[in-house]
């Protein structure tokens, strides 16, 4: 265990020293960008964790709709209806023009 603690202390000391050296050489604008990116990433971590937790809960939820009953859901079979005459029982109104359609008029714009 002491080996891990010493290694961790060395890594942290190296990171702090590297941050101080880089921080001294950067301009104020560049430092503002780095701090903004770091704060943005740090702010997104909790929301990402919440999304992961909610997604895993939804995936693990058992489907209890059909498990409570020991049988399968009911099957409904609808047979074909009786044949009707072709136009004897129309459920809609026939066209008002009596079946004759006038030719369509098109206006072409932009052609000479």
pLDDT digits (tens, 9 = 90+) for 60-98: 655 555 555 566 777 777 766 665 555 555 566 655 665
CB-based contact 57:50 (threshold 8 Å)? no
Q: To which residue do tokens 């005459």 refer?
A: 85
The pLDDT score that the predictor gives to residue 44 is 96
Average pLDDT, the chain: 78
Give the tens place of pLDDT for each residue, 71-80: 677 777 776 6
Q: For the chain, what is the total number of helices (H) and then of strands (E)?
A: 2, 0
The pLDDT, as a whole number, for residue 111 is 64
- pLDDT for the residue numbered 57: 80
- Model confidence pTM above 0.85: no
What is the largest distance, in Å, between two alpha-carbon atoms of the chain?
98
Nearest Cα residue to 34 out of 23, 24, 25: 23
Domain assignments of the chain as residue spans, ordered by start: 2-60
């Amino acid at each position: 265990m002491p080996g891990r603690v010493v290694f961790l202390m060395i890594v942290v000391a190296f990171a702090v020293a590297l941050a101080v050296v880089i921080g001294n050489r950067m301009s104020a604008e560049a430092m503002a960008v780095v701090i903004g990116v770091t704060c943005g990433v740090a702010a997104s971590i909790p929301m990402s964790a919440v999304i992961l937790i909610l997604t895993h809960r939804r995936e693990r939820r058992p489907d209890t709709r059909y498990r409570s009953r020991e049988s399968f859901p009911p099957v409904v079979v609808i047979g074909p209806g009786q044949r009707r005459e072709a136009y004897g029982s129309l459920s809609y109104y026939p066209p008002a023009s009596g079946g004759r359609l006038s030719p369509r008029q098109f206006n072409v714009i932009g052609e000479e």
